[in-house]
Amino acid sequence: MTRQVKVGHRVYEIAFVTNGDIEADGHWGECDKRRGIIRVASNGRPRDAQAETLVHEILHALIEDTGREWDDDEEELIVSRLSPRLTAFVRDNATLVGELLQMLA
């Protein structure tokens, strides 16, 4: 699997972790905007749940790229509402997503 994601002018490393602070804090992922690292807890979790967490953290990175200072609670609310829907959209519209990629090539 790709271990990097380009978001705007930045490249984030993607790390699938089995233990550590993320899960201990009750979170499944983390977007370290300062260091450019996205961490996703992978141990024992279904792949679709990991995918949704990855999308969630990418949305945090996208918001960072807008340059807007968001209130943390506001950002989390928006990201939490959008991430499952965007994940489902990609899953449910694979043909369209492929066509979009062709249009952008």
- CA angle, 27 then 49 then 24, to 5°: 20
CB of 82 vs Zn ion, minimal distance in Å: 11
List the structure tokens of 15.
Answer: 């790390």
Copy the structure tokens of residue 29.
Answer: 């992922």
> Residue 95 Cβ, how far from Zn ion at the closest point, in Å?
29
| C-alpha 103, offset from chain centre | 23
Taking CB under 5 A as the binding criterion, the range among 1-9, 66-74, 76-84, 85-93 that sits at the site for Zn ion is 76-84
Provide, rounded to whole angstroms, the least separation between the CB of residue 53 and Zn ion.
Answer: 9
Question: Binding residues for Zn ion, per CB under 5 A?
Answer: 76, 79
